[in-house]
Amino acid sequence: MKDFVPIFQIGSSKRNNQFSQKCSTMLPIAANPAKFSVSSSYMENRMYSLDDASPACSLVLPERTDEWPSYLEGSLFQSAVIEGSSRLQVPPSMVIATALGAMSAACQALIDIKQPVGHHVQASLMLLTIADSGERKTTVEKRFFKALRDWQRIMQDKAEKDEDRYIYEEEIWKLEDKTLKTEFKKLIKNNLPNEELKEKIENHRHNRPYRLPYKRLLYDDTTPQALIQLMHRHSSNACLVSSEANSIFSGHALREIHHLNTMWDGNDIIVDRVSTSSIFLRNPRLTLALMTQPSVVDRFLNKRGDEARGMGFLARFLVVKPQKMSGNRTIEPIGHLPHIDKFNRRIKEILEQTQDIDSKQHTIEYTADAAELWKKYSQKIEKEMSPDRLYSHHPEHASKLMDNVSRVAAILHTFEGKEKSISLETLKFSYKLCLRYSREFIDHLAGEPTIVTHANLLVNFLLDLIDKENKPNRTNEKIHGLTLKHGRYIEFSPSIIKQHGPNPLRNNANRDAAMALLTRMGHLVQNGNRYRFSETILGHQSPNVKNGEAYFLNSLPLYSHQHYYCPSRSTYLNQHRYMIIIAKDYDKE
């Protein structure tokens, strides 16, 4: 834990005591205060503490950085992630998602998870990595899915070699069947006893040769409809791995996406056909390990995003959009990757246990202390679906979050070869990881709530008014020698919004809702018939709704980027205010 000191020391005189609580907002400071940087250590410690699972505390998602949680040091998973990120020169988040996809595909046929509240979930994940061409998506997938692809080739070779045997035995069987039936016809024609021959025919029918099933596991660019048919033909255990994902994120595929939801939920698939035989897929297991470019996802969200969200399809995904690295890599050979090799050997070991995929899955539970913490986490997420809380506009995502936590925890537990029950450490990591994915979901898949869109329009309109007035006392002037600056402000009448504001805000309901949100966030107060708007929080209390937590208005500074400033010698409350933190390096060397 870092040492904490106030960013500005508060005097010990009695006159400052009344402001001591408000003015003691703490900021972490590095070992060398001269190199203090708000944007790194400060933001790190604004993250939600996993040790404090009390529902009374607001849940704050990790900041928008490319820093991701780490699993147990020396574990197969963590060692492979570190090696993959370093040697392949890709972000850790891309490696984590790819590794989890391979692990899910291998483990899903073996295990179920019993939640602390009693119900069971399966161990399949739906993962989506959004990255541009040139970010080495395919390179990472080839390394971490090697054991799975090798396994599939072995299964395919066995099925192909068995085909000659099947053809030969089928020909013999047909000849014998024809002979028996011919003899049976003669007995019937001559009215002779035929019970013994009838029994032979029945036994022969049960001994018909069969093809060795090709237990196909991996599918590439396959539509949901075709995938169900292929799973029915080959195996109910499957993984759709794609570096483009066009087959999923296309308009016509949306008609069949509800089947993917059904499989994620662990339910059987029944597809009734009029012209062909119906499909019954019992206890299917499906991992989605998708990689695609931002343009594909953006096009899908623009055209069918609301429909996909309404179906709950997107809410099931663990999504990541990694930081770009193309253009910043060094040219050097990849060389031997021992930890990724160990990763693939473990995948192979698990696959060898899945020969009978129709067998009953092994049920994994939590240890007693992990189960209690799981319940606290679950209650906390439930509370965050309340109005003006983190998931108030994303309840479908929040309702799936703890299921995903359990799936990740069970997969890690199985992959690492651990016995007995899921430990507290594995649960904590899985929860922290899924919170990080939750941040990515809200940023890239959830879509912006209408009220946020309208509030951003209102803020930008008011900031434009301030710039047009160009008054000296309303500029963004920095405080000399400090790391803070004033926010811009203006007083206005709502009539100016009706007359000159953006079209959506000329609607009374839209305008009132946007103004109400800014009021709850502390950036707007009413004074008679007029309103005062400020780029920073008005007043001296923390707002009920904090920017960047329940809502994210990109037109305003985040709550975590503001500081309540108290001049050390001031006794006047009107000189105490919220100000914007400037990330400033004091190293003059």
Percent of the chain having pLDDT more than 90?
A: 51
What does the pLDDT average to over 463-489? 71
What does the pLDDT average to over 578-582? 87
pLDDT in tens, 36-66: 233 333 333 333 444 456 655 667 676 656 6
User: Which residues have CB under 8 Å from 420's CB, separation 6+?
Assistant: 367
Residue at token pair 């944007």 = 39
> Would you say residue 26 has pLDDT above 80?
no
Domains of the chain by residue range: 4-44, 58-447, 450-581
- Cα separation, 16 vs 29, in Å, equals 23
- Weakest-pLDDT range from 56-60, 244-248, 380-384: 56-60
What does the pLDDT average to over 220-225? 86
Answer with the residue of higher pLDDT: 59 or 520. 520
- Weakest-pLDDT range from 70-74, 421-425, 516-520, 563-567: 563-567
Residue 159: the pLDDT is 82
Q: How confident is the model at residue 165 (pLDDT cuts 50, 70, 90)?
A: confident
> Would you say residue 441 has pLDDT above 70?
yes
> Would you say residue 588 has pLDDT above 60?
no
- Weakest-pLDDT range from 3-7, 331-335, 524-528, 535-539: 3-7
> Would you say residue 489 has pLDDT above 80?
yes
Most confidently modeled of 80-89, 173-182, 384-393, 463-472?
80-89
What does the pLDDT average to over 324-345? 91
Token pair of 76 as six digits:
């197969």
Q: What is the DSSP string of 68-115?
A: -----TT-HHHHHHHHHHHHHT--HHHHHHHHHHHHHHHHTTTEEEE-
- Cα separation, 335 vs 584, in Å, equals 41
Residues in the chain: 589
What does the pLDDT average to over 356-361? 62
Paired with 367 in beta bridges are: none
Q: What is the mean pLDDT of the chain?
A: 83
Q: How confident is the model at residue 181 (pLDDT cuts 50, 70, 90)?
A: confident
Paired with 563 in beta bridges are: 579
Which amino acid belongs to residue 22?
Answer: K
Paired with 218 in beta bridges are: 239
- Weakest-pLDDT range from 28-32, 212-216, 269-273, 509-513: 28-32
Query: Which pairing describes strands 285-292 and 126-130: parallel, antiparallel, or unpaired?
Result: parallel
What does the pLDDT average to over 342-369? 87
Cβ neighbours, 10 Å, residue 338? 11
List Cβ<8 Å contacts ≥24 apart for 205-209: 205/177, 207/173, 208/170, 208/173, 209/165, 209/166, 209/169, 209/170, 209/173
Buried residues in 424-441 as b, exposed as e (16+ CB within 10 A): bebbbbbbbbbbbbbbbb
pLDDT in tens, 59-111: 767 665 668 999 999 999 999 999 999 999 999 999 999 999 999 999 999 99
> Would you say residue 397 has pLDDT above 60?
yes
Q: How confident is the model at residue 17 (pLDDT cuts 50, 70, 90)?
A: very low
Token pair of 155 as six digits:
């299964």
- Weakest-pLDDT range from 14-28, 228-242, 357-371, 420-434: 14-28
The CA-to-CA distance between both ends of the chain, in Å, stands at 28
Q: What is the DSSP string of 258-307?
A: HHHHHHHHT--EEE--SSS--EEE-S-EEEEEEEE-HHHHHHHHHHHHHH
- Looking at 2.60.40, 3.40.50, 3.90.1200, 3.30.43, the CATH number of the domain 58-447 comes to 3.40.50
Residue 31: the pLDDT is 31
Cβ neighbours, 10 Å, residue 73? 8
Give the sheet arrangement for strand 111-114, strand by strand.
120-122, 111-114, 362-364
pLDDT in tens, 527-576: 999 999 999 999 888 998 999 888 889 999 999 899 888 876 555 556 68
Q: How confident is the model at residue 274 (pLDDT cuts 50, 70, 90)?
A: low
pLDDT in tens, 254-270: 778 889 999 999 899 88
- Weakest-pLDDT range from 137-146, 212-221, 301-310, 475-484: 475-484
Cβ neighbours, 10 Å, residue 529? 8
Answer with the residue of higher pLDDT: 582 or 100. 100
